[in-house]
Structure 1
Amino acid sequence: MEVREAREVLKLYFGYDQFRPGQEDIIANVLAKKDTVVLMPTGGGKSICYQVPGLVMPGLSVVVSPLIALMKDQVEALLGNGVNAGYLNSSQSTKEQQLIEQQCFDGRLKMLYVSPEKLLSAGFFSFLKRLQINLFAIDEAHCISAWGHDFRPEYLQLKNLKLQFPEVPVIALTATADKLTQRDILTQLYLQNPKVFSSSFDRPNIYLQVQPGQKRMEAILDFIEERPFQPGIIYCLSRKATETLATKLKEKGYNADYYHAGLSAKDRDRVQERFLQDNVQIMCATIAFGMGIDKSNVRWVIHYNLPKNLESYYQEIGRGGRDGAAAEALLFHSLADVMTLRDIITQGENSKEQALSLAKLDRMQQYAESTSCRRKTLMHYFGEEYPGNCGSCDICDNPPTSFNGTELAQKILSAVARTKETVASAQVVDILRGSRNQQSLSRGYDKLKTFGAGRDVPAQEWQRYIHQLINRGFLEVAYDEHGALKLNNASEEVLFKGRTVELVKFQAIDLKEEKERRSKGKSRSVGAVALFDHLRQLRKDLATERNIAPYLVFNDNTLQEIAELKPTNKLAFLAISGVAQAKYEQYGEIFINSILSFLSQQATQQQAKIKGTTHLVTYEMLRQGLSPEEISVNRQVQLATIYSHLATLYQQGYDVDLRPYLSEWEYERVKEAILKTGQTAAMKPIFDTLDGQIDYLKIRLSIGRYNKESATV
C-alpha cells in the first residue's frame, strides 16, 4: 500500500511516472521504518529517496544539510512542486525562525531542513520532541568521517539523533564515500542494523576526456565556442588562476566570473547567486565552489589543473548533468601540475597523511594518462566492475594505436642520460625538438648528439611518450629535484640490451567533427533546438520574476522534452516527464502560449527566407523590443549575422538606431581606418589598422553607416 502511495506521490509532486533504478527499494526500506544508508552518485536522485517517504508518512521529516545555499535550493524546489517545506539556519532572523517553528507546531510543514549547528543548538531537541517526526535524513553524510574530504566536526554529534529519538528511522545519504568513510557513517551515527544501498557510481550521461596541459587557453576557447549559451564550471588550483582566467574569457566576449575562498562572504553569495540564476554562464572557481550548488543544468565541467585525487575529481565533474541530460568533463593534465600538488601535499601534511595523499595523487595521474576506457578506470577505483568499454570517453572514441616505440624511447632515455639525469620532461622535449632557447644554449645542450633528433615529432606527442615511459616503469621522476627524470634498470635494458618498448599513438580530435559524431542518434531537429533556446529564455524571465534559479522552473531534460513534443494542451503538458500538477498550474499555460507563438513566428520566418528578406525578420523583432543578443538566441543565428542585418537595415533606410551598439568615437575611428585602407567590404584590414581595439561587430555597423552617409553625399 505504502509503495503504491509512493508512486502516486512521485507523479503528483515531482511529475515522474516511475522511479530510477534502486530508488523504490530504498523508499520501501524507509517506509518500513528501518535505518538506511544510501551511496549514490551526484545527480542519481538521492533527494527523492527521503522526500517521497517523508511525504507518504504522517508527520514531519527533518533533513540535516551542511550548507545554507543547498537547503535554500531544495526548499525552493519543493515549494515549486507544491510541497510545504521550510528551513532553519543562521541566515534567518529570530522572527523568521519563530514563524517556521510555528508552522511546524501547526502541522503545516511536511519537510524541515536544518543545519547541523541549528539541530545541535540548545533546546532544539526539546522543540523536536513536541512534534511528530517521521524521519531524519542526513545529507552529505560523508562529512561525519575524518577520512572524508569534507569532514565537519559538528557531524560527529549527530549520533544524538538515535539516542534521543530511537524509534525514528534515519536515512544517511552521500555521493562520495570510500570504504573507511562508509564504516564511519555506519558506526558514528549509531544506526540500528542499517541496510546499505549502493547504486552504481557511473554517470553515463557525462562524457569524459583528457587533454595535455599545453595550450590550455586555446583549447578552452575552442571548447566553449562549440557550446554557446551552455553553463559550465572551470576548476582551477589557485585563486589567482580563477581571476586571470575569468578576465581572459571576458576579454574574448564570454560571460564569465570567478569564485574562491578569498572573496568576502557577501561577494561569494552574489557570484554564486548570479550563476544559479543563469546570469553568469562560466564560473572559474577553486574547489571552494560547488558543494552547495544544486544547479541542475551545468552542461560541462573543465579542470584547468589536475585534482588531488579521484574522489574530488568525481564529485566535481558530478556537478555537471545533474538533470540527467548530456554533460561533458574535460581534464587538463601536465607533469607540472603533478609536481605542484606533490609540493603542496609534502609541505602541509604529516607523514601518515602524506603517504595516503601521494598514493591517491598517483591514482589520479594514472587515470589522466590512461590508454584504456576512462570510465572503466574510474569505476574500478570505486570498487565497481565495468563490463566492456563505455563508448562515451575520448579513449573509446579515439582508441590509441600501439606500435613499436623502441627508437623513440631510446631517444628520450639517451637525452636523459646525456643531460646527466638533471632535467625535467619539458627540457628533454626541447632538446629532442632542437629548441634553441636560453637554457639549451647556456648549458650547451645544443651540442648533444640527441639535440634535434626528434624535430619531426610534435612537442605534445613527445610529452605523451615520456608520460607513458614513466607509467610503464622505464623512467623515474625525482620530485625533490624539480621533476628531474632518472634512469633505472629498465632504462638500461632498452638502451643497451635490446629490450623493445610498445607505445601508443593518439590521433588529434577535431572538436567540431567529434561533436557531430557523438550527437548522431540523439540529435534534435533544428526546430526543436530553436524552440529549446526560446523556452530557455522564457524560463529565465519567469525565474527572474520569482527570484528563483531557472532550473527550478523546469530542468533541461524536461525543457528538451517540451521542445521535442511541443505540448499545446493540459493533458499533453502533464504527460511530460518532470511536470507535476503544481508546476503545470504555475507555468503550463504560459509555456503553451509561448510554444504556439513560436510556431507561428517560425512559419513567418520561413516565408521570409524563401523571399530572401531574412533581415526584415530581425527588423520586426527589433521593433518588438528584443535586443540583438535575444534575437540571436531566438533565431538560432550568430550575433555577427544579426549585426550584419542591422547594418543592412540602416543602409537601406529603415528606422534603426545604431547608437546603443556603436558610439560616435568608435565610428570616427573606424571611418578613419576605412579612408586609410580604402576598404568597405573586407573588415580584417580595418581591424588590423585599429590594432584590434574595435571588434568586428562594431566595424560592420560602421561600414553600413559610412556607406549610407557616402551615398547621401
Structure 2
Amino acid sequence: MIALDLKDALRKYFGFDQFKGKQESIIANLLEGKNTFVIMPTGGGKSLCYQLPALLSEGTAIVVSPLIALMKNQVDAIRNVSDQESIAHFLNSSLTKTEINRVKADISAGLTKLLYVAPESLTKQEYIDFLTSVNISFFAIDEAHCISEWGHDFRPEYRRLREIFERISNVPIIALTATATPKVQYDIQKNLNMLDAVLFKSSFNRDNLYYEIRPKRDIDKQIIKYIRTKEGKSGIVYCLSRKKVEELAELLQVNGINALPYHAGLDAATRAKHQDMFLMEEADVIVATIAFGMGIDKPDVRFVIHHDIPKSLESYYQETGRAGRDGGEGECLAFYQYKDIEKLEKFLQGKPVAEQEIGKQLLNEIVSYAETSVCRRKFILHYFGEVFDESLCNDNCDNCKHPRERTEGKEYVRKLLQVISDLEEMQKAKHICSFVAGKVTSDIKSYKHDQLPNFGIGQDRDEHFWNAVVRQSLVAGLIYKDIESYGIVKLTEAGRDFLENPTSFMLIKEHDYSSDEDGDDVVVSGKSAVLDDVLYKQLLDLRKSISKQKNIPPFVIFQEPSLRDMCFQYPITIEELTNIQGVGTGKAARYGAPFVALIKAYVEENEIDRPQDMVVKSLVNKSGLKVQLIQNIDRKLPLEDIGRSQGKTLEEIIEEIEAIVASGTRVNINYYIDDILDPENQEEIFDYFTEAETDDLREAYKEFDGDYSEEELRLMRIKFMSDMGN
C-alpha cells in the first residue's frame, strides 16, 4: 500500500513515474519512524529522500543545511512543486525580523512542511524555544560529512546537532552525504547517536565521468584552450584562494569566455546573482572556491576543472560530482604540482596535533591519487570501500587511456632509505635528492655532506627522478615528512623494515611535477603535441647568427623555452610573438622581425595549420603589478621589503624580475647587488655570462665551484640580461 501511495505522491508532487535507485526504500524507512543514513553520490537524488516524506508527514521537517545559497536554491525548488509559498522556508542570518516572524507564523499555522536552517541558527535559544513549541516530523542533515573531523568540510557547529535535537523533539533523523569513507560514516553515526540507523549506500561509481590529471604548467593558457573546446557548455573551475578566483575569472572574460567569480568574500547579493546567472545559462563558467556547488541542482555541467588540487580525495570526489548529473558527458580535469601539496602542508602548521595528523593523511591520499598510474576510477572507489574492475573503466580516465610504464624500483628505494638513515633523518626532500644524485649545493657543502661515503650513490639518475622516488615512497608509507620540523623526511616502521628486507617495489614513470619548466612535449586537449624539431633547429641557427652579429650570447636574444613555444604557436607577426612565453613587447620589437619572417616562410612552405584560435590574452592588472614592482625598484627599495609588502618571498620577487627582464624590459637592481657583491665579484660573474654558451645557473655554479650562492648568480644574470639584451 505504501509503495503505491509513494509512487502516486512522487507523480503528484514531482512529476516522475519512477524512483531512482534506493529512494523508495529510504523514504519508506523514514516514514516508518526509523533513523536513516543515506550515502548517495551527487546527482543520485538525495534531496527527494527527505523532501517527499516531509510533504507526506504531519508537522514540519527541520533540514540542517550548511550554506545560505544552498537553502535558497532548495526552497525555490520545493515552492515550484506547490501553489503555496509557505510550504518551505529557511531561517538564517540573511532574514529581517519581519521575515523571521512570518516564517514562525507559517510554521505555527501548520502550513510549512520543510524548514531549512543553518547549524549556527539552531544554537540560538530563541529558535530552540520556538521549535519545541511546534510539531516536528523529523530532522534531516544534508551534507552530513560536515559532522566528521575526517570529512572534507568539517564544521564544528555540526558536532552539537544531536544535543540540540534532543532538546527540541524525539523524532527520527535522516543523515545524507555524497561522500563518506567507512571512517567518516562511523564518525557521523556515533556523533549523532544513531548507530542503529538503517544504512542505504549506493555505488560511488559515476561511469559517465572522465578523470584526468595534468602537470601544472602554463596553467592559465591550458585552461583557456580547454574551455574554448567546450564552447557554449557549462563548467565550473575550482581554485583554493579567493584572489585566484578573481584573477582567473577576469582572465577568462578577457579571452572571450563568459565567466563569473564566486567566493565567500563577495557580498551575498553578488553571490546570489552570479549563481542564478549560471543556473539560467546567462554565464557559461563559474570560477569558484569550494563555497560554490553544494546542492546546486544544475544537471548539465559538462566539465569541472581544479586549478589547484583539493585538500582531500573526498573534496575532489564531491566537486567533480557536480559534472554530468544528467548522465551525459562530464569531464573532470585537475592540475597538479607537488609544490601545491607543500603549501597545503604549511597551512597545517600551528593547528592542533590531531588536526595536523588528519590533514596530513588526507593530503597523502590526494597525492597518491594524483601520482598513481592505476585506473583513477578504481583508486577513488577503493578509497570509498568499493571494489572495481578497471577493465570496466572503458578508457574513461587518463591512466586507462594512456597507461604509464612501470619498472622495478626496489634498489632505488633501498638507496633512498639508506641515505635518509645516513643523514640521521634530519634533512628535507630537496637536500636528500641533491645528495643521492651527487649534486653539490651550497647546503651540502656547508654540511660537508659531499664528503660522506654514500654521497652520489644514485648519480646515474637526476634529482627529478629521485623526487619521484621520494613521493612514491611517501605514498607507500615508507617515509613521512615531519611538519613540525618544516618537512624533514623520516623513516616509518615500514621503511625500516624495507631497509632490512627489501621487497619488490614497482616505480611508476611519472610526469615531473616538481618543475615549472615545460618538457619537449605539451598536452593540448588530452593529446600530446610534439616539438617541431625542424623549425626548432632553424630558430637555433638564426639565434646563433644574430648573437655573433651583435656580439652577445644567444640566450640574451630569446631563451630556449621561448624558441620551443614558437615551435608550437607558429607566430608570424610581431603582435603574435608577444604571446610567446618569455617574450614581451620590448624583446619582440628588438629581435622579433627575422624570427617571424623565418616562421612565416616555414608555415607557408609546409602548409602548417597554426593554432591561432588558441592565442591567449594576458590580464591588464598583471602589467599593473609589474609596473608597481618596477616603480619600487626605481625607488631603490630592498627586494625583501618589496616582497613583504606584496605578501611574497624574496625568491618569488626575483622570479618576477627575471620574467620582466626576459620579456624585454630593462630593470636596474644595481643598488641591491652592490650591497651583497663587491665590484670585482660582479665583474667576474658578468664576464662569465658574456662568454657562456648557456644561462643555466647549474653550469655557472659548477664553473665557480660554489663560490657564489644561487641567489647571487640569479641576481647577476638579471643585471647581465637587462644590460645586454634590453
Query: Is the structural similarity TM-score above 0.5?
Result: yes
8 Å contact from structure 1 (residues 50, 137) kept in 2: yes
1:38 aligns with 2:42: no
Alpha-carbon distance in 2 for matches of 1:469, 1:382: 23
Deviations 1:448-501, CA, capped at 9 Å, x for gaps: 99999889xxx9999767755765689987878987999999999x9xx99997
- Relative to 1, partners in 2 of residues 1:112 and 1:481: Cα closer, same or farther, differing over 3 Å? closer
Alpha-carbon distance in 2 for matches of 1:483, 1:25: 49
- 1:376 corresponds in structure 2 to 378
8 Å contact from structure 2 (residues 212, 398) kept in 1: yes
Runs (5+) with no aligned partner, structure 1: 441-447, 516-676, 694-713
1:337 aligns with 2:340: yes
8 Å contact from structure 1 (residues 59, 133) kept in 2: yes
8 Å contact from structure 1 (residues 43, 322) kept in 2: yes
Report the 3-state secondary structure (helix = DSSP H, G, I; strand = E; otherwise coil) of the residue aligned with 2:342.
Answer: helix
Task: Select which of 351, 355, 367 maps to 1:353.
Answer: 355
**Aligned residue pairs, count:** 525
Q: Within 5 Å, give how 1:425-436 maps onto structure 2.
A: none
Runs (5+) with no aligned partner, structure 2: 445-454, 512-520, 529-596, 619-726
Alpha-carbon distance in 2 for matches of 1:473, 1:120: 42
- 2:283 corresponds in structure 1 to 280
Deviations 1:129-184, CA, capped at 9 Å, x for gaps: 66554333222233344554332426614434345433x33222222344454345
Deviations 1:570-626, CA, capped at 9 Å, x for gaps: xxxxxxxxxxxxxxxxxxxxxxxxxxxxxxxxxxxxxxxxxxxxxxxxxxxxxxxxx
Task: Select which of 87, 107, 118 maps to 2:89.
Answer: 87
Query: How far apart are 1:215 and its partner, in Å?
Result: 2.9
8 Å contact from structure 2 (residues 66, 118) kept in 1: yes
Q: Name the structure, 1 or 2, with higher relative contact order (CA <8 Å, separation 6+).
A: 1
Report the 3-state secondary structure (helix = DSSP H, G, I; strand = E; otherwise coil) of the residue aligned with 1:340.
Answer: helix
- 2:67 corresponds in structure 1 to 67
- Relative to 1, partners in 2 of residues 1:502 and 1:314: Cα closer, same or farther, differing over 3 Å? closer
Query: How far apart are 1:74 and its partner, in Å?
Result: 0.9
- 1:139 corresponds in structure 2 to 142
Structure 1 counterpart of 2:360, which letter? L
- 1:172 corresponds in structure 2 to 175
Alpha-carbon distance in 2 for matches of 1:313, 1:513: 20
Alpha-carbon distance in 2 for matches of 1:154, 1:63: 13
- Relative to 1, partners in 2 of residues 1:302 and 1:484: Cα closer, same or farther, differing over 3 Å? farther
8 Å contact from structure 1 (residues 162, 189) kept in 2: no
- 2:78 corresponds in structure 1 to 78
Query: How far apart are 1:366 and its partner, in Å?
Result: 0.9
- Relative to 1, partners in 2 of residues 1:246 and 1:422: Cα closer, same or farther, differing over 3 Å? farther
- Relative to 1, partners in 2 of residues 1:514 and 1:248: Cα closer, same or farther, differing over 3 Å? same
Structure 1 counterpart of 2:404, which letter? P
Report the 3-state secondary structure (helix = DSSP H, G, I; strand = E; otherwise coil) of the residue aligned with 1:171.
Answer: strand
8 Å contact from structure 1 (residues 375, 390) kept in 2: no
Q: Within 5 Å, give how 1:259-338 maps onto structure 2.
A: 259-291=262-294, 293-338=296-341
- Relative to 1, partners in 2 of residues 1:407 and 1:218: Cα closer, same or farther, differing over 3 Å? farther
Deviations 1:218-238, CA, capped at 9 Å, x for gaps: 332232122112222222233
Alpha-carbon distance in 1 for matches of 2:241, 2:336: 15
Alpha-carbon distance in 1 for matches of 2:258, 2:205: 31
Alpha-carbon distance in 2 for matches of 1:414, 1:182: 40
Q: Within 5 Å, give how 1:631-642 maps onto structure 2.
A: none
- 1:14 corresponds in structure 2 to 14
Query: How far apart are 1:26 and its partner, in Å?
Result: 0.9
Alpha-carbon distance in 2 for matches of 1:179, 1:412: 34
Task: Select which of 400, 403, 406 maps to 2:404.
Answer: 400
Query: How far apart are 1:248 and its partner, in Å?
Result: 2.6
- 2:49 corresponds in structure 1 to 49
Report the 3-state secondary structure (helix = DSSP H, G, I; strand = E; otherwise coil) of the residue aligned with 1:96.
Answer: helix
Task: Select which of 365, 368, 384 maps to 1:366.
Answer: 368
Q: Within 5 Å, give how 1:216-227 maps onto structure 2.
A: 216-227=219-230
8 Å contact from structure 1 (residues 415, 428) kept in 2: no
Determine what percentage of the aligned residue pairs are the same residue: 38
8 Å contact from structure 1 (residues 235, 284) kept in 2: yes
Query: How far apart are 1:93 and its partner, in Å?
Result: 2.8
- 1:207 corresponds in structure 2 to 210
- Relative to 1, partners in 2 of residues 1:506 and 1:155: Cα closer, same or farther, differing over 3 Å? closer
Structure 1 counterpart of 2:406, which letter? S
Q: Within 5 Å, give how 1:503-652 maps onto structure 2.
A: 503-505=507-509
8 Å contact from structure 2 (residues 71, 90) kept in 1: no
Deviations 1:367-395, CA, capped at 9 Å, x for gaps: 11111111221222222222444412211
8 Å contact from structure 1 (residues 64, 115) kept in 2: yes
Report the 3-state secondary structure (helix = DSSP H, G, I; strand = E; otherwise coil) of the residue aligned with 2:37.
Answer: strand
8 Å contact from structure 2 (residues 365, 475) kept in 1: no
Query: How far apart are 1:412 and its partner, in Å?
Result: 11
Alpha-carbon distance in 2 for matches of 1:173, 1:222: 37
Structure 2 counterpart of 1:370, which letter? T
Structure 2 counterpart of 1:14, which letter? F
1:113 aligns with 2:116: yes
- Relative to 1, partners in 2 of residues 1:239 and 1:163: Cα closer, same or farther, differing over 3 Å? closer
Deviations 1:85-105, CA, capped at 9 Å, x for gaps: 321323223333333444444
Task: Select which of 145, 149, 153 maps to 2:157.
Answer: 153
Query: How far apart are 1:30 and its partner, in Å?
Result: 1.1
- 2:682 corresponds in structure 1 to none
8 Å contact from structure 2 (residues 226, 525) kept in 1: no
Alpha-carbon distance in 2 for matches of 1:142, 1:489: 32
Structure 2 counterpart of 1:305, which letter? D
Structure 2 counterpart of 1:198, which letter? K
- For the aligned residues, what is the CA RMSD? 5.3
- Relative to 1, partners in 2 of residues 1:356 and 1:147: Cα closer, same or farther, differing over 3 Å? closer
- Relative to 1, partners in 2 of residues 1:256 and 1:79: Cα closer, same or farther, differing over 3 Å? same
Query: How far apart are 1:22 and its partner, in Å?
Result: 1.7
- Relative to 1, partners in 2 of residues 1:279 and 1:474: Cα closer, same or farther, differing over 3 Å? same
- Relative to 1, partners in 2 of residues 1:488 and 1:124: Cα closer, same or farther, differing over 3 Å? closer
Structure 1 counterpart of 2:233, which letter? Q
- Relative to 1, partners in 2 of residues 1:123 and 1:244: Cα closer, same or farther, differing over 3 Å? closer
TM score, norm. by length of structure 2: 0.58
Alpha-carbon distance in 1 for matches of 2:40, 2:241: 30
More displaced 10-residue stretch of structure 1: 80-89 or 222-231: 80-89
Report the 3-state secondary structure (helix = DSSP H, G, I; strand = E; otherwise coil) of the residue aligned with 2:94.
Answer: coil
- Relative to 1, partners in 2 of residues 1:257 and 1:460: Cα closer, same or farther, differing over 3 Å? farther
- Relative to 1, partners in 2 of residues 1:152 and 1:358: Cα closer, same or farther, differing over 3 Å? closer
Structure 1 counterpart of 2:335, which letter? F
- 1:544 corresponds in structure 2 to none
- Relative to 1, partners in 2 of residues 1:506 and 1:15: Cα closer, same or farther, differing over 3 Å? farther
- 2:232 corresponds in structure 1 to 229
Query: How far apart are 1:336 and its partner, in Å?
Result: 0.9
Query: How far apart are 1:29 and its partner, in Å?
Result: 0.6
Structure 1 counterpart of 2:14, which letter? F
Structure 2 counterpart of 1:40, which letter? M
Alpha-carbon distance in 2 for matches of 1:37, 1:154: 16
8 Å contact from structure 2 (residues 478, 495) kept in 1: yes
TM score, norm. by length of structure 1: 0.59
Query: How far apart are 1:47 and its partner, in Å?
Result: 0.8
